[in-house]
Structure 1
Amino acid sequence: MEKQSLLDFLLVPGGLLALVAYHIWLLRQVINHPTTTVIGINSINRRLWVHAMMDHDHDLSRNNNNGVLAVQTLRNNIMASTLLASTAIMLSSVIAVLMTHSTGGYRPSSTLFFGDTGDRMLTIKFFFILVCFIVTFLLNVQSIRYYNHVGILINVPCKNINLNHWTKAEYVGRTLNRGSYFWSLGLRSFYFTLPLFLWVFGPIPMFISSLSLLSLLYFLDVTTPPEIQSSAAAA
């Protein structure tokens, strides 16, 4: 049993540290080199989108059309956040039920599963999965909160307000980016539940899934800067 527990103490922290180290590196890339990441490029384009939606105060017909387009776009984002939040809270309830029935219930066979298969370790595994889903729910709720703020702010005219257009658009753009960041973090916490789920079957599947998830996230997060793409196409 001690050798089996040793696998949990070695492989599980190793897999989690690899994921944490990757996201620290990703955060530095987003801050210092935003055009090399999908998150950074999307953040820049969202700010430009806000300026485009709010840049027609002189043309009432175009301004109304932009207002409808902005609200519909934000509604789609709110629906996506609501779906993730609802799924997370539902799965949290399922995990809570499994935790309460784990003792004396489901116990993996030591001949098929590696690592510690005791009731205490199984409860710890379910607890981490539960925490991950609760964090997902809270992050998506915050995302909905910011999207709702943007839905009102983006249609407020600058006339008769002691605030110039550029300052107002920048504030709305930052608010929209905050909502998107919370949504991205909620989606990341969903990703983190995959290794934690596989941890139920042992530390080896958990470690392998962590490395596989790391490779997938790198493929999804990193992109070639636009200036490099244009020079390569010209060549």
Structure 2
Amino acid sequence: MGWTWKEEYLDLILVPFGFFIMCLYHLFLLYRYLKHPETTAIGYENHNKNAWVKKMLQFDAKDRGFAISVLNSHLSASTSLCSISLVLCSLIGALLGNSSTNFLTNSIILGDTSKSTNSIKYIAILSCFLLAFACFVQTTRHFVHACFLISMPTGDVPIDCIQKAVIRGSNFWAAGLRALYFAMTLLLWIFGPIPMAVGSVATVMILHFLDINKDPMIRYGGNKNGGGFLKKIEQEISSVVGGFEHDHGVGRQ
């Protein structure tokens, strides 16, 4: 008896290939971020966020309402994605518990359509959504901590502590998005191993275009832009005082 080809072999070849492509790209991205952060969009954004924290701390605590509103916008986005991930986890868990649910017929899917393979598909997707949920929860945690630190009235908090909280929140945000990207490719596995492999390659190509950074790092000045608001107030006070002294001098004459 000779060896015969079966459709189930497509899952054994294409699915590990697509998953390997995704993992290899993200390992390469992690290496570039650690060794050459200026070549990645994540490193470029973190550089700007570090400078943003320095500029915001040049204001008094009562004038940092704009900084709090910026962090609150990030909190709203992370909370929304956290809720969406949790809802999708519940939905997939319900589908996994109902073994009789089958949206597609076996004639449409080109690949393994056994119950065990379908269970592996749903478990893999559920794991990615759970990982995304955990990352977005950590994002919310770190941004809330940054809000507490940046609103400290005495201003005794070191800049490094606030920068670390903001950067960690941003990194968990990026990790949560990557988990959603993995979940998207695994969702294509429901339609067969070929869409999953093609989707993995297409996702890597799109992410490489989005993650690469060719712009030079912005060099921020010490107090050139951050103290513009305070300088404006100082100029207005000086003009008012000068006008008052001028009027007072004219009245004496």
So what's the TM-score if we normalise by structure 1? 0.86
Matches within 5 A, 1:1-235: 3-56=6-59, 60=60, 63-65=61-63, 67-101=64-98, 103-106=99-102, 108-157=104-153, 161=156, 168-226=158-216
CA contact (8 A) 1:108 1:117 kept: no
CA contact (8 A) 2:89 2:126 kept: yes
Q: C-alpha displacement at 1:226, in angstroms?
A: 1.3
CA contact (8 A) 1:88 1:136 kept: yes
**Aligned partners of 1:106, 1:198: CA distance in 2, in Å?**
15
SS at match of 2:71: helix
**Aligned partners of 2:182, 2:198: CA distance in 1, in Å?**
13
**Aligned amino acid, residue 80 of structure 1:** A
CA contact (8 A) 1:99 1:123 kept: yes
Structure 2 stretches of 5 or more lacking a match? 218-253
**Aligned partners of 2:211, 2:128: CA distance in 1, in Å?**
21
Change (3 A) 1:7 1:186: same
**Aligned partners of 1:148, 1:194: CA distance in 2, in Å?**
29
Structure 1 stretches of 5 or more lacking a match? 228-235
Change (3 A) 1:52 1:45: same
Larger Rg: 2
**Aligned amino acid, residue 40 of structure 2:** T
**Aligned partners of 1:200, 1:2: CA distance in 2, in Å?**
21
Q: Deviations over 1:45-89 (max 9, x none)?
A: 111000000023xxx4xx533x10111001000000001000000
1:230 is matched with which residue? none
1:231 is matched with which residue? none
SS at match of 1:226: coil
CA contact (8 A) 1:54 1:155 kept: no
Q: C-alpha displacement at 1:223, in angstroms?
A: 1.6
CA contact (8 A) 1:51 1:169 kept: yes
Q: What fraction of aligned residue pairs are identical, expressed as a percent?
A: 35
**Aligned partners of 1:91, 1:81: CA distance in 2, in Å?**
15
Q: How many residues align?
A: 214
C-alpha RMSD of the superposition = 1.7
**Aligned amino acid, residue 86 of structure 1:** S
Q: C-alpha displacement at 1:201, in angstroms?
A: 0.9
**Aligned partners of 1:221, 1:157: CA distance in 2, in Å?**
38
SS at match of 1:3: coil
Q: C-alpha displacement at 1:115, in angstroms?
A: 1.1
